[in-house]
A and B are shown apart, each in its own frame.
Chain A
Amino acid sequence: MAIGETIRNSQIWKSIFRHPMPLDRRNRIVVMLTNFFLHLHPVSIKKQGIALSFTWCMGGVTFFLFLVETVTGVLLMFYYRPTLEWAYNDILALRDVTSLGILRELHRWGAHAMVITTWLHMYRVFLTGSYKPPREFNWVVGVILLLLTLLLSFTGYLLPWDQLAIWAITVGSNMARATPFLGYEGPGQQLLTIGGIDMITDASDARFGLLGARFVGEETLNRFYVLHCIAIPLAVALLLAIHFWRVRKDGGISGPL
């Protein structure tokens, strides 16, 4: 006890935590207001808003999984080089050489889980009618988050560069080939010609833009790597900030009026 007290009274401790231990009512309020991480939350909340049977904690679990993915993803980046020469071998090494080799498992299963929990979160938001005014816009933000979650998962799927990876991405991205007007096998692309020269070819269509090449290859690997590790996570982080801010501004977790 004495040691704990000494630590908590030290200058270092006090400089980090701007409040005493939240043991009494006053300090439990203070902690919510003065702690950076906790100030996301309100100080007090309706009991039904935190009932597990109501929210299933699904949004929270999804966010936690996003954090898990961020941490394990950064660790994976230490080991992985997105080139045709190394990508597959680096993944092999993660399994066979790296000690405590479940990093990749954590990241992969975490990603699958995040897709599922996002669906479940959306399902509960629908079932409680929480998309109704004043929360319409936060639902829209949510839909974009859903799309980004799927794209995160999809771009990551390519990185191990095994048969599973390139063919799943090939099948998935083949769809872009059929984009109306903008895909070279899509309806109406025949109409986009200038002076008899096709504008939409397999080297200029929507799929080419996605893959950076005519087929899933080195350019695609690089493109998906950057999207997966930087672009999409940043977009998700920004939208999550808005999402959480709006939950507060829209009056907290929904409930009957």
Chain B
Amino acid sequence: MHSSGFFLKDVAGFLGGYYAFMAIMNGVAALLLWRRKGQVGWALVWTVFAGIMMVLASLALSGTADLVPALPLSVRTLVNRLSGPVLYTLGTFVLLTVLFVFRRFFVKPMVAWTILNAMLLLMGLSMADENFASIVMKPDNVPIVGLVFLLAFFTWLATSQAVVNDDRIARGLPPVEKENDEKVLVWPDLVYTELICMVAVSAFLLLWAICLPAPLEEPASSVKTPNPSKAPWYFLGLQEMLVYFDPWYAGVVLPSLVIFGLMAMPYLDFNKKGNGYYSIEERKFSYLTYQFGFFLLWITLIILGTFLRGPNWNFFGPFEFWTPYKVEVLNNVDLPQMFWVNLLDQPLPKAPSGASGLVQAGYILLREAPGLLVMGAYLVLLPPLLAVTLFRGFYAKMGFIRYMIMANLMLLMLTLPLKMVLRWTLNLKYIVSIPELSLNF
């Protein structure tokens, strides 16, 4: 289904306002820059850009569906064709890595502003696609769009302060926060800030509530299962993990580990530096671990689960129509199958019929031996191995128990990306699969 004129007329009003907002935003930015010395060039750039946004706004509001600015159909088709869980996840990983490595460049205000504008423009152009809009505009999905922009903004804000502090520390100076340790009275300095925050949040919430009605679908019916059936958006990362793991792990064990790991974090991080100010260089390991977990294993999966998973939890490109008839061939294989059948060319070990419980258990163990050995090596052998190699310094500082907890939490966290990669490359379904105990991993 491609954008019908009917839909475009509907969305045109919104887009008109949207581009007008972008124009005003850039106009104000240009004005502020112009009044600062040495920024006239940039002021001009954003004035021109604001002008273009005004043109887009008037095109959107022209009343002619064909004139609403949109991504060309060929681009949309190409994006749909290219996108898939692998490209999406790896692409995000690469993107975040580039942002991190070249953070000194990306935090420059004009670079960040350019990126913000690019994001907003891309969003606007995509909104003129009916399929894209119908998912993004679902009332309960709107907050996630907000979340993406907020995270981008606050990460920029924090990183730009961290970069400054890291430079200062390298030069032997204290972090900027230290310069600001003069005391002020809470009334008025803090109380007024809080009041302004409250007013701003209230105004924002009121506006949101007036503009966007809360969703209410048909009355509940336990026989009509919607397809797809989705958990609330903040749990969609967990639902996405169900693609790779069984519910006992993705839905119960992993979330419990996340909570436990978060609680344990202050007791595992023995690094005394970086307490009370923004810094990256001084705590690179904890920083990267947190960002990996938060952005890649939590936020990215939520976005994937919300916007890109349609009926039957199939993957759909951002501009693709969510048809329930899309068929995806699943030919995933379990590790025992790979080992016994594909590699050794033997049937799976199976207890003779009528064998006693113990014999049966023995055969199950034999059948699952490859997977159990792999898991055993991963969880039992790797921690001590790492303790004498990569994590040597950690082990020395943390002591046995703390080190073991840290190492195991790290390894368990990594089970998710590892399983993803194994699925994408080898079509691996389960490493261990004991249906007799409902234990599949």
Q: Which of the residues A44, A153, A166 comes within 8 Å of B184, measured between beta carbons?
A: A44
- A2 within 8 A of partner (CB): no
Q: Which of the residues B150, B248, B440 comes within 8 Å of A179, measured between beta carbons?
A: B248
Majority secondary structure, B binding face: helix
Majority secondary structure, A binding face: helix
Residues in B with CB closer than 8 Å to A185 are: 247, 438
- B157 within 8 A of partner (CB): yes
- A238 within 8 A of partner (CB): no
Q: Which of the residues A56, A167, A177 comes within 8 Å of B154, measured between beta carbons?
A: A56
In the complex, which residue of chain B has the Cβ closest to the Cβ of A58?
A: B154
- B214 within 8 A of partner (CB): yes
CB distance from A157 to the nearest CB of B (A): 5
Q: How large is the interface on B (under 10, 10 to 19, 20 to 34, 35 or more residues)?
A: 35 or more
CA distance in complex: A140, B226 (Å): 38
Contact A190 B437 (CB under 8 A): yes
State whether A171 and B231 are in contact (beta carbons under 8 Å apart), knowing that A113-B143, A178-B246 are contacts in the complex: yes
In the complex, which residue of chain B has the Cβ closest to the Cβ of A139?
A: B266
CB distance from A234 to the nearest CB of B (A): 21
Contact A116 B266 (CB under 8 A): no
CA distance in complex: A128, B440 (Å): 40
Contact B208 A153 (CB under 8 A): no
CA distance in complex: A127, B216 (Å): 38
CA distance in complex: A42, B253 (Å): 41
CA distance in complex: A148, B146 (Å): 22
CA distance in complex: A109, B75 (Å): 34
User: Which chain A residues (165-186) contact chain B, with CB distance < 8 Å?
Assistant: 165-168, 170-172, 174-180, 183, 185-186
Residues in A with CB closer than 8 Å to B225 are: 167
In the complex, which residue of chain B has the Cβ closest to the Cβ of A179?
A: B252
CA distance in complex: A45, B191 (Å): 11
Residues in A with CB closer than 8 Å to B201 are: 61, 64-65, 113
In the complex, which residue of chain A has the Cβ closest to the Cβ of B162?
A: A127
Contact B183 A186 (CB under 8 A): no
In the complex, which residue of chain B has the Cβ closest to the Cβ of A164?
A: B217
CA distance in complex: A161, B221 (Å): 9
Residues in B with CB closer than 8 Å to A180 are: 248, 252-253
CA distance in complex: A25, B283 (Å): 41
CB distance from A87 to the nearest CB of B (A): 8
- A225 within 8 A of partner (CB): no
- A112 within 8 A of partner (CB): yes
State whether A32 and B266 are in contact (beta carbons under 8 Å apart), knowing that A46-B180, A48-B180 are contacts in the complex: no
Interface residues, chain A, with chain B CB atoms under 8 Å away: 22, 25, 28-29, 31-32, 38, 41-48, 50-54, 56-57, 60-61, 64-65, 68, 88, 91-92, 95, 102, 104-106, 108-110, 112-113, 115-116, 119-120, 123-124, 126-133, 135-136, 139-140, 143, 146-147, 150, 153-154, 157, 160-168, 170-172, 174-180, 183, 185-191, 215-217, 254-257
CB<8 Å pairs between A and B, sample of 18? A41-B186, A41-B190, A44-B186, A47-B180, A47-B181, A47-B189, A102-B206, A102-B209, A105-B214, A109-B208, A123-B294, A163-B221, A164-B215, A167-B226, A179-B252, A187-B439, A216-B222, A255-B276
